[in-house]
């Protein structure tokens, strides 16, 4: 007879049976100071992370394994767009902004992209494309998944990321 697995507590995403969530690494380091323009020309600084849990995805338009995750990032970005406590930002190491902008338009992606390879190399202890971070409202990276998560599909991954970000979101700023 198989052992019964206890149910997860309410609110914890379960994912898909037989497909485990990959582990997150607990970290605690401040993002280095930055002033970066996104593809729309908006300037982003560390202040834009104040008071919000931020989901950060590191990718490149030429990284084919990253592509499978971009639909999930788009879905996630749309889900949190109206929220004041959680946001999604991506970092790209693309060096040709024109090609990156063309890629985004061709695919219909609208999530924020900060493209700056030098900053990424400065900010990361380990440079691996496809990694995720959860940054707290003080601008400190708290959780990191450096192995490519091989997302389990938009629904399960979106719920997992919202749950993880919610652990660091300001309760007062929730909609």
Question: Could you state, in order of their start, the residue ranges of all structural domains in the chain?
Answer: 25-170
Q: The pTM is what?
A: 0.84
pLDDT average, residue stretch 14-32: 76
151: closest CA among 48, 43, 76, 39?
76
- The pLDDT assigned to 122 comes to 87
**Is domain 25-170 annotated with CATH 3.30.310.80?**
no
Q: Label residue 151 by pLDDT band (50, 70, 90).
A: low
Show Cβ contacts of residue 22 under 8 Å, excluding neighbours closer than 6 positions.
145, 147, 149, 150
Please, what sign has the CA dihedral across residues 45, 46, 48, 49?
positive
Say whether pLDDT at 5 is over 90.
Answer: no
Q: Label residue 102 by pLDDT band (50, 70, 90).
A: very high
Say whether pLDDT at 7 is over 50.
Answer: yes
pLDDT average, residue stretch 60-76: 92
CB 69 within 8 A of CB 149: yes
- The pLDDT assigned to 169 comes to 84
Instruction: Return mean pLDDT, the chain.
Output: 85
The enclosing H or E element of 15 equals none
């Amino acid at each position: 007879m198989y052992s019964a697995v206890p149910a997860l507590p309410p609110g914890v995403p379960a994912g898909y049976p037989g497909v485990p969530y990959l582990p997150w690494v607990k970290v605690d380091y401040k993002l280095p100071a930055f002033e970066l323009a996104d593809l729309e020309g908006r300037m982003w600084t560390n202040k834009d992370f104040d008071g919000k849990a931020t989901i950060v995805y590191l990718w490149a338009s030429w990284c084919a394994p990253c592509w499978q995750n971009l639909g999930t990032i788009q879905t996630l970005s749309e889900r949190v767009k109206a929220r004041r406590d959680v946001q999604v930002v991506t970092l790209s190491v693309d060096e040709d902004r024109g090609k990156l902008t063309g890629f985004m338009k061709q695919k219909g992606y609208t999530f924020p992209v900060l493209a700056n390879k030098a900053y990424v190399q400065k900010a990361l202890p380990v440079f691996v494309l496809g990694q995720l971070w959860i940054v707290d409202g003080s601008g400190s990276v708290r959780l990191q998944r450096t192995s490519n998560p091989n997302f389990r599909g938009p629904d399960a991954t979106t719920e997992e990321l919202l749950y993880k970000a919610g652990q660091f979101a300001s309760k007062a700023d929730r909609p």
